[in-house]
Amino acid sequence: YGVDSLEELKNANIWWEYPYDYQKALEWTRRTREEGPQRYEWKIRKVQGGFAWEDVTLRTIEIGGKTRLISIGVDITDRKTAESNLRKSEEMFRNLSENLSVGVAIIDKEMKVLMANPRMQKWFPYGDYNHCPSCYHIFNKEARQDICDDCPVAKTLQDGKIHFTERKVENNEGLRYLAITSTAIRDEQGNISAAIEMADDITERKNSETLLKTAKEQAEVANKAKSEFLANMSHEIRTPLNGVIGFTELLKKTKLNSTQELYVDSANTSAHSLLAIINDILDLSKIEADKLELDIIKTDIIALTEQATDIIKFLAAEKKLELLLNIQPDTPRYAMVDPVRLKQILVNLLSNAVKFTTEGEVELKLGFEPIDKKTAKLTFSVRDTGIGISQKDKGRIFDTFMQADTSTTRRYGGTGLGLPISGLLAKKMDSKLEVDTEINKGSIFYFELKTEYAYGEKLEVSDLKKMKEVLIVDDNKNNRLILEHTFKYWGIHTTQCDSGLKALELVQSKPHYDLIIMDYHMPGLNGLETVKKIRQELKVEPEHQPIILLHSSADDPAIQKQSKALGIRFNITKPVKSQELLQYLKNLQAEEAGKVEASEPHSEPGPAKQTANHTPLILLVEDVEMNLLLIKTLISQTLPEARFHEAMDGEEAVEAYKSHKPDIIFMDVQMPVMDGMEATREIRKLEKDTTQHTPIIALTARALKGESEKCLEAGMDDFLAKPINQNKLKEILQKHIAPQQ
């Protein structure tokens, strides 16, 4: 169509975006004539109703001497609708991002910033950079033109994945730490078109981490200082205690009147109590500092359990408590455990049970449940009939320095460290110490260990084939039950009764049992009185009826004489140990067959051997004269003919070694001038080109973990902790001197 005037345009059948804005349309026509083709996008009202968008190109042509306007239109309604929706989405995104507490920016594939919200602009002044915010400070600072290798946006635009990094930036707010995450934006075809970058201010978190790191470093320094302090205090306290305990024990062996004996016993008991407290505090410190390492070795688990009851049986006997040892008969002999720490737990639990029980019994029970051919679950439990624990106090008895009774008039005393240490040791063994308890009825403390096991040599019971019937006389039901299970496992039938009178009735009705096991402590008739009636009134002679008497370790020594007079074959101290009982039964069978075996399976180490033509020369290196005197006295009791040479520090020790060539050296570790470890290294250097090796035994009051390892690394052969245990000293002398003779 062509128009030359406004009137002519009005008569055209066209409705424009702006109704009746013919003046504007005429202007388009004029511009087309004067400037050439024009291109516009406009919205028109369709004849059939509604609106449409067109992309219109206008150009003029001359037809018949007149200028005509040619309009070519393309419908772009769909595109304009999509753009409108996109603008709305962008507007919504912009409005949302402006109120976010995190920085948001959109970056295109050329790494140009399309949009950044106020928070992002605050951290990276928007408009001052062309590249994405996370790279801006690098470009700005180093004038680099390549993209940062660690840029999350660049990585996201490359692979479409979410990427994360942390940035340290400086702006008008000072130094800030930002956590930056980038996510891909994809078009309808799934192609990556841009990336959204989000930055979160983590300055407070980073500052907290820095403070935490600093605090951790300070705590580690403080912990190291504490450990050193405890080690030094251990040495300083144990050194005088070594003298107190050692000399009071020596004094007890001299001739004293009753008052002096009381005083010496009190001093010795107090010193041992103080040593126990020191050991508890050091153990707790090591565990809490995670410095305690378990020493897992193949251990005779039966012997260990028996030893735990041996340690506590005298205290139980003094309180007239029944001490029971209940080991499941099919329990294997060996297990992979830390014997020192396991025994420590058991002794702690048994000590507590005895402490808080005034009457009744304390039982140590060991259960065995195989998992497969190599591993098993061992269950240790200590049961008592004591005061029990309230539900209120049950939750805090494993807390350090806490006891159920916190009043100032506590009856039971103690530091409150036994249970916490036991609980921590059990945890170290991948177990958990638990308790079932009821006020005034008692408690059961128990824990389980999963470990490898081995049976070793099984107890030989073939010699007991002739033993068919055993009478058990004991007023304690649980002890009768334990003995019944043991004999049943050996294939021996038992008859049981709970008093001397019932025992007499049974013996009268059946004049012979293969064995009678008689408890001494029973109401009415005690064990000896019952045996006396069996011998005198029932006329059952010792040769016809063997009897074993059970009694506690605290019973009157006169019992032994009475037992011998009544023809009692053996006396067994409670709690009954299955291996020990089996040995006694074998002895009974052997006596009947005319061959007697040794009845005591264990013995304490005796004096070290020494030949007639050689007495050992011992070099004692110790800077405290009191300790020199003590160690010399203790060694003399084991090696009466031993000769001694003394040195007060490491330098003197090295010179003494050169000139005297001792058979063994007892070397204190902490000394002035030159310490024991350095002196040991010097001696080992002197031995390097010879075939000689002199045993060097470390003497130290430092009882922290790692001390013995350090001594062995320095070249020492063994380790003896102060206060010195005389049995341990005997073992060391036997080990390092006797084999040389």
Question: Directed axis angle between helix 558-565 and helix 527-536, to 10°?
Answer: 20
Cβ density class 622-652: b for 16+ within 10 Å, e for less: bbbeebbbbbbebbeebbeebebbbbbbbbb
For residue 407, pLDDT beyond 50: no
Comparing 527 with 230, the larger pLDDT belongs to 527
Comparing 115 with 666, the larger pLDDT belongs to 666
Q: How confident is residue 450, by pLDDT bands cut at 50, 70 and 90?
A: very high
Rounded Cα gap, residues 8 and 322, in angstroms: 128
**Rounded mean pLDDT of 418-424?**
86
**Rounded mean pLDDT of 359-363?**
93
Amino acid 89: pLDDT: 61
**Rounded mean pLDDT of 164-178?**
78
| Dihedral angle of Cα 585, 591, 597, 600, to the nearest 10 degrees | 50
pLDDT digits (tens, 9 = 90+) for 553-562: 656 667 888 8
Percent of the chain clearing pLDDT 90 (strictly above) = 26
Neighbours of 216 (CB within 10 A): 10
Q: How confident is residue 369, by pLDDT bands cut at 50, 70 and 90?
A: very high
Comparing 398 with 607, the larger pLDDT belongs to 398
Out of 87-91, 316-320, 518-522, the most confident range is: 518-522
Question: Which of 9-23, 85-99, 173-187, 626-640 is least confident?
Answer: 9-23
- Helices and strands (DSSP H and E) totals, the chain: 22, 25
Q: What is the DSSP string of 495-540?
A: EEESSHHHHHHHHHHS---SEEEEES--SSS-HHHHHHHHHHTS--
For residue 494, pLDDT beyond 80: yes
At 401, is the secondary structure helix, strand, or coil? coil
Q: How confident is residue 2, by pLDDT bands cut at 50, 70 and 90?
A: very low
Rounded Cα gap, residues 715 and 404, in angstroms: 48
Amino acid 276: pLDDT: 72
Question: Which of 94-103, 360-369, 661-670 is least confident?
Answer: 94-103
Name 727's Cβ contacts closer than 8 Å, sequence gap at least 6.
604, 605
Comparing 455 with 497, the larger pLDDT belongs to 497
Residue type, position 152, single letter: P
For residue 137, pLDDT beyond 60: no
Q: How confident is residue 235, by pLDDT bands cut at 50, 70 and 90?
A: low
The closest alpha carbon to 344, from 394, 370, 294, 308, belongs to 308
Amino acid 402: pLDDT: 53
For residue 367, pLDDT beyond 80: yes
Q: How confident is residue 739, by pLDDT bands cut at 50, 70 and 90?
A: very low
Q: Which residue's entry shows tokens 């038992």?
A: 494
CA angle 563, 564, 566 (to 5 degrees): 65
Rounded Cα gap, residues 408 and 626, in angstroms: 38
pLDDT digits (tens, 9 = 90+) for 98-108: 767 788 888 88
**Rounded mean pLDDT of 598-607?**
41
pLDDT digits (tens, 9 = 90+) for 255-265: 888 778 777 87
Amino acid 349: pLDDT: 92
Comparing 702 with 52, the larger pLDDT belongs to 52
**Rounded mean pLDDT of 183-199?**
86
Amino acid 134: pLDDT: 64
**Rounded mean pLDDT of 377-381?**
96
**Rounded mean pLDDT of 534-547?**
90
Q: Are 628 and 581 in contact (CB under 8 A)?
A: no
Q: How confident is residue 414, by pLDDT bands cut at 50, 70 and 90?
A: low
Neighbours of 230 (CB within 10 A): 20
**Rounded mean pLDDT of 243-259?**
82
Helix or strand run (H / E) with residue 700: strand 696-700
Q: How confident is residue 207, by pLDDT bands cut at 50, 70 and 90?
A: confident
**Rounded mean pLDDT of 393-417?**
59
Mean pLDDT score across all residues of the chain: 80
For residue 504, pLDDT beyond 50: yes
